[in-house]
Amino acid sequence: MDDILIIGGGVGGLATALALHRAGLPCRVFEAVPEIRPIGVGINLLPHATQALAALGLEEALARVAVATREAVFYNRFGQLIYREPLGRDAGYGSPQFSIHRADLHGVLLHAFRTRVGPERLHLGWKCAGFEQDDGAVTVRFVDTATGVPRPAQHAPVAIAADGIHSAVRKQRFPDEGPPKYSGVNMWRGAVMWPRFLTGASMVRAGWLANGKMVIYPIRDDANGTGLQLVNWVAEIETEKYETRDWNRPGRLEDFIHAFEDWHFDWLDVPAMIRATERVLEFPMVDQDPLPHWTAGRVTLLGDAAHPMYPRGSNGAGQAILDAQCIAARLAEARDPREALQAYEAERLPATAKVVLTNRTNPPDAINREVWLRTGDRPFANIDDVISAQELRAMSDSYKRVAGYDRERLAGKR
């Protein structure tokens, strides 16, 4: 097969390229940014994603730059423990759960791509301007990102659009889709050097949206040799509107710090941690309705271009990695690449649609919502008088099944 064309050199695009290379399928990646720079903050890689990355030989490299997350803990805004459960290998999975800076994850993928696939197969500063296709090939048009001058059109047997939430290919395919669906929740994010808290490998979800909710977890150990960790935090508050959907939009402390001023827990001073953060980013919690299909002939969507979802449940990057694993397997086994893309869509579209819709209604932090509703946002004397451990465990396990990382399913994939 001639080179497969991948539009987008983010997590989904590079994971796809590495999976294709492992399957013996040549590819090239075209990325809009003219220079790769560290962006974003922390993300979590759940065991189904780390299992897929381990199959690409990346687990050791990831372990060097990530925190192997050991537990999930849920608190109310008064610092009272609601529920605790082990994660990753501590929970009996064959693969770890990693908390990692997005730039570190991208760096591991990028190094592997350049080493294995070849640096000459990554084209920077190529912004997708649209595509056409016929029975024999797809032609993708590009422009120079900096100047807007057209670049040479690229012809391929298959084009995979992993070009993110602002996908040019998705926009061409679905021009009347409309704006993103706003959840009514705005997020502020940051990463800060901070002393270890709890186990030093705990993922914390605290509070609920009406009064402010936070997700907090370490993403680097012994950051810069200081003995401190780099801790990622996300603050979420219900708001009526949002400004723009831009991962790098600066946020203002005064817009949200009031909700967390009294969050002084025995194990963490939350407002002090927020104030110590040098750079705060703001992003609305938005998604898009699941599409009826991703594939048209020799072109398909992948990752955020296919299924943008609320960043709840640590699933955005992970689902893109699962897409990559699936599409490489289908292309490797099919005679006709168009049939392979249809098989990929048939497997992955329903699965990701369930995650998108579940993230709107019953993500993992629905545990906090349930306790908030039952207590009327008041401290409790004993959590067992509010909700049983069995009910809490059932809520958590239900999300794992929807997202595809319940232990039984992953054990069967080994």
pLDDT value of position 370: 95
Q: What single-letter amino acid sits at 338?
A: R
Counting other chains too, the contacts that 342-349 makes at CB distance below 8 Å and 24 or more residues apart are 342/295, 344/295, 344/300, 345/293, 345/294, 345/295, 345/300, 348/306, 348/322, 348/323, 349/290, 349/291, 349/293, 349/294, 349/306, 349/307
pLDDT value of position 245: 62
Q: Return the domain boundaries, the chain.
A: 4-42+103-179+291-361
Task: Provide the 3-class DSSP secondary structure of residue 230.
Answer: strand
Q: Are 97 and 219 in contact (CB under 8 A)?
A: no
Q: Are 327 and 16 in contact (CB under 8 A)?
A: yes
Mean pLDDT, consecutive 10-residue stretches, the chain (414 aa), reads 93 98 98 86 94 97 97 97 96 96 96 97 98 95 97 97 95 93 91 97 94 96 91 92 71 94 97 96 91 97 95 86 98 95 98 93 90 96 96 92 85 64
The conformation of residue 38, written as its DSSP 8-state character, comes to -
Query: pLDDT tens across 241-286, in order?
Result: 776 666 678 899 999 999 999 999 999 999 999 999 999 999 888 8
pLDDT value of position 307: 96
Give the DSSP per-residue string, 153-200. EEEES-EEE---TT-HHHHHH-TT--S-EEEEEEEEEEEEEE---TTS
Query: pLDDT tens across 204-239, in order?
Result: 999 998 889 999 999 999 988 889 999 999 999 988
What is the C-alpha to C-alpha distance for residues 411 and 308, in angstroms, rounded to an integer? 28
Q: Which residue has the tokens 């050991």?
A: 70
Residue 274, phi then psi, degrees to nearest 5: -60, -45
Pick the CATH number of 4-42+103-179+291-361 from 2.40.50.140, 3.90.180.10, 3.30.470.30, 3.50.50.60: 3.50.50.60
CA dihedral 350, 353, 358, 359 (to 10 degrees): 140
